[in-house]
Chains A and B, each alone.
With several copies, the nearest count.
Chain A
Amino acid sequence: MTVGTARGDTPDALGESPTEFVQLLSPDGERIEHPGYELELTAAELTDIYRDLVTIRAMDTEALALARQGELAVWASMHGQEAAQIGSARALAAGDMAFPTYREHGVAWSRGVDPVSILGHFRGAYHSGWDPLRSRVQAYSVVIGSHTLHATGYAMGIQRDGTDDAAIAYFGDGATSAGDVNEAFVFAAAHRAPVVFFCQNNQWAISVPVDRQSTVPLHRRAEGFGFPGVRVDGNDVLACLAVTRKALADARAGRGPTLIEAFTYRMGGHTTTDDPTRYRPAAETEEWRSRDPIERVRRHLTASGIADREFVEDVESRAEAVVVDLRHRIRTLPDPDVAEIWEYAYATGHPRVDTERTEYADYLESFEDGQW
Chain B
Amino acid sequence: MVTTEAVSLSRALNEGLRRAMTDDPSVVVMGEDVGMLGGVFRVTDGLQKTFGATRVIDTPLAESGIVGTAIGLALRGYRPVCEIQFDGFVFPAFNQITTQLSRMRTRTRGAVELPVVIRIPFGGGIGAAEHHGESPEAYFTHTAGLRVVTCADPSDAYTMIQQAITCPDPVIFFEPKRRYWDTSVIQRDPVAAVPLEQAEIVRPGTDATLLAYGPMVRVCLEAADAHEDRSLEVVDLRSLNPLDEATVLESVRRTRRCVIVHEASVTGGYGAELAARITETCFRTLVAPPLRVGGFSTPYPPSRLEDHYLPDLDRVLDAVDRTFGGRP
A–B contact with Cβ pairs below 8 Å: the answer is yes
User: Once the chains bind, are A350 and B242 in contact (CB under 8 Å)?
Assistant: yes
Q: Which of A102-122 contact B (CB under 8 A)?
A: 102, 121-122
**B interface residues with partner A (beta carbon < 8 Å):** 28, 32-33, 35-38, 40, 54-55, 58-62, 64-65, 67-78, 80, 88-89, 91-92, 95-96, 99-100, 103-113, 127-132, 144-145, 147, 167-169, 197, 242-246, 267, 296-299, 301-306, 308-309, 314-315, 318, 327
Contact A143/B88 with A128-B107, A133-B111, A213-B60 known, Cβ cut-off 8 Å: yes
Write out the residue numbers on chain A whose beta carbons fall within 8 Å of the beta carbon of B54: 159-160
* Residue contact B32 to A73, C-beta cutoff 8 Å: no
Q: List 14 A-B contacts (CB under 8 A).
A: A73-B127, A124-B129, A127-B103, A142-B131, A143-B95, A154-B76, A155-B72, A186-B65, A206-B32, A278-B36, A278-B38, A344-B110, A352-B242, A367-B314
**Which residues of A have CB within 8 Å of B298?**
341-342, 345, 353, 356
Q: Say yes or no for A323: interface residue by CB 8 A criterion.
A: no
Q: Which residues of A contact B303 (CB under 8 A)?
A: 73, 124
Q: Is A177 an interface residue (CB 8 A)?
A: yes
Expressed in whole angstroms, the Cα–Cα distance for A336 and B262 within the complex equals 24
Closest to A126 in B: B302
A346 touches B145 (CB 8 A): yes
B60 near A187: Cβ-Cβ < 8 Å:
yes
A127/B65 in contact, CB under 8 A: no
**A146 vs B63: C-alpha distance when bound (angstroms):** 12
Does B62 contact A178, Cβ atoms closer than 8 Å? Answer: yes
A342 cross-chain contacts in B, Cβ below 8 A: 296, 298
A157-B73, A372-B314 as given contacts; A346 in contact with B169, CB under 8 Å: yes
Chain A residues with CB below 8 A from B72, complex form: 149-157, 167
In the complex, which residues of chain A have a beta carbon less than 8 angstroms from the beta carbon of B38? 278
* Chain A interface helix/strand/loop/mixed: helix
Check if A360 sits within 8 Å of B61, measured CB to CB.
no
Q: Given known contacts A178-B92, A341-B309, is B69 in contact with A156 (CB within 8 Å)?
A: yes
Q: Name the one of A131, A150, A278, A336 contacting B37, with C-beta atoms under 8 angstroms.
A: A278
Give me the interface of A with B, judged by CB distance under 8 Å: 73-74, 97, 102, 121-134, 138-139, 142-144, 146-161, 167, 174-175, 177-180, 183-184, 186-187, 190, 205-208, 212-213, 273-274, 278-279, 335-336, 338, 340-348, 350-353, 356, 360, 363, 366-367, 371-372
Is B96 a contact partner of A146 (Cβ separation < 8 A)?
A: yes
Most buried by A among B60, B105, B106: B60
Query: Which 4 interchain pairs have the tightest Cβ spacing?
Result: A153-B72, A149-B68, A157-B76, A153-B69
In the bound complex, how far is the Cα of B32 from the Cα of A205, in angstroms?
A: 9
List the A side residues contacting B145 at CB < 8 Å: 345-346
Question: Which residue on chain B has the smallest CB distance to residue A178?
Answer: B62
User: Do A187 and B305 touch across chains, with their CB atoms under 8 A apart?
Assistant: no
* A184 shortest CB reach to chain B, Å: 7
Q: A186-B62, A206-B40, A346-B145 are in contact. List 17 more A-B contacts (CB 8 A).
A: A126-B302, A127-B130, A128-B108, A132-B108, A133-B75, A143-B92, A149-B69, A155-B72, A156-B73, A177-B60, A178-B92, A180-B64, A180-B68, A207-B35, A341-B296, A352-B245, A352-B297
**Cross-chain contact A345 with B299 (CB below 8 angstroms):** yes
**Most A C-beta atoms less than 10 A away, residue of B33, B144, B302:** B302
Decide if A126 touches B109 in the complex (CB within 8 Å). Answer: yes
Bound-state CA distance A143–B306 (Å) is: 20
Chain B hits for A190, CB < 8 A: 60
Residues of A within 8 A of B267 (CB): 352
Closest to B100 in A: A146
Q: How far is the CA of A341 from the CA of B298 in the complex (A)?
A: 7
Known: A149-B71, A279-B36. A139 touches B61 (CB 8 A): no
Q: Are B40 and A124 closer than 8 Å at their CB atoms?
A: no
Tell me, in angstroms, the Cα distance from A333 to B96 when the chains sit together: 31
